[in-house]
Amino acid sequence: MRIVFVNSVRGWGGGLTSAVEVGSGLAEMGHEVTLVCHPSSVVARQLASESSVKIAPIAIRAELNPYRVLQLIRLYRRVAPDVVLADRRKDVKLSVAARRLSGAFPIIHRHGAPSPLRNSAIYRHVWGREVQALVVNSKTMRQRMLAEAPWLERAPLHIIHNGKDTSRYKPLPRLRERIRRELGIPEDAFIVSFHGMVQPRKNVELLVKAVASLPADLKIHALVVGAGPTLPQLRALVAEIRAPVIFAGIREDIPEVLSAADAAAHLSTAEGLSNSVIESMACGLPLVVSDATSHAEQVEDGKQGILVPPDDWRAVADAIRWLATDPAGRERMGAAARKRATEEFSRKRMLDRYDEVLRETVAEYRATQGA
């Protein structure tokens, strides 16, 4: 199939990694993939060397910019796609506008953000009539969307869990000593990692407060990998309460960096489905996760990790203390996390499901068009 994938995400984060993995993965499966992205985006730089994916640099910013619609019209006429995958809401709206003057093809909205669609007239029209299918990445996200916009019950709404290449994301014990030296981590420290965008809904301050409260003789440190809008406030909190936290900045070698950790903590108040949790699981780390979002679809309490109440740093501290003082339990949970990641959240499983949904949507659309 000829697939046009529209992704206007410019910065670093889950939207970027998902676009790279899905776009390159579909190309590897034999599809002809053209990725529409901002010319200065991280995704454009990451896929520049991917000869299997064609890059169409279009600087999408506003929701209904006539010039961007014209650019998409030209692209769609040239490529004649069998299907368009559109990530963000503005990507969907622009693609719907462009389709009117460029051909007949279904539009699928990949909705990975932890926010529902609005229950408004324009949303009911665009997503109820103009979009042929929606893909969400968790049962939790599907429930939230239907609760806020019950009219979506009539739309094809598919769940495709995010997936990771578990041959890349895996335990790397041989690198542990080198990475610890590189990051300045004491050899005998117990490390609880967080990696991702540092922003309010990620609740990284709970991890900071938890490790600050634990006895010094346990030598528990937090490792924060990433950046974001609330990083300055987080650094200020670390300094204020003298928390044992190591900041590693943005890293692209996540499997290698996670080799330095003993456990991972992801305490978000909202997620679509966390890529960071999958990556930590695939790297064999037991997890402490908030029971506030789709984390419970990924981590079974007491099996791959520990679920804690949202916004309760004391519960986070208790969970970390247990992991730090029970090596056998920690090893058991880490092995179970790795197993679940390879079986339930692999890149292959995700791509096979995308291939199935794309083919099904194209066939149904052509049937309704009489093609």
Same domain? For 156 and 280 the reply is: no
CATH number for the domain including 148? 3.40.50.2000
CB-hemisphere CA count at 13 Å for 19? 34
pLDDT score recorded for residue 345: 97
Mean pLDDT of 134-156: 90
pLDDT score recorded for residue 50: 64
Q: What does the angle CA 359 – CA 361 – CA 362 come to, to the nearest 5 degrees?
A: 65
Residue at 168 is within a domain:
no
Residue at 240 is within a domain:
yes
Same domain? For 67 and 198 the reply is: no
Say if pTM beats, i.e. exceeds, 0.85: yes
Same domain? For 21 and 118 the reply is: yes
Same domain? For 23 and 38 the reply is: yes
Q: Are 38 and 58 in contact (CB under 8 A)?
A: yes
3-state secondary structure of 180: helix
Mean pLDDT of 333-346: 98
| Total domains present in the chain | 2
What crossing angle do the helices spanning 313-325 and 204-213 adopt, rounded to 10°? 60
Q: Can you say whether the dihedral through the CA atoms of 327, 177, 237, 252 is positive or negative?
A: negative
pLDDT score recorded for residue 40: 80
Same domain? For 191 and 331 the reply is: yes
Residue at 147 is within a domain:
yes
Query: In which band, very low, low, confident or very high, does the pLDDT at 371 lie, cut at 50, 70 and 90?
Result: low
pLDDT score recorded for residue 12: 61
Query: What is the domain extent for residue 27?
Result: 2-163+347-369
pLDDT score recorded for residue 139: 93
Same domain? For 255 and 193 the reply is: yes
C-alpha span between 267 and 264 (Å, rounded) = 10
Q: Which residue has the higher pLDDT, 333 or 60?
A: 333
pLDDT score recorded for residue 16: 62
CA–centroid distance for 131 within its chain: 23
Q: Is the pLDDT of residue 42 over 80?
A: no
Q: Is the pLDDT of residue 155 over 70?
A: yes
3-state secondary structure of 81: coil
Same domain? For 182 and 214 the reply is: yes
Same domain? For 140 and 282 the reply is: no
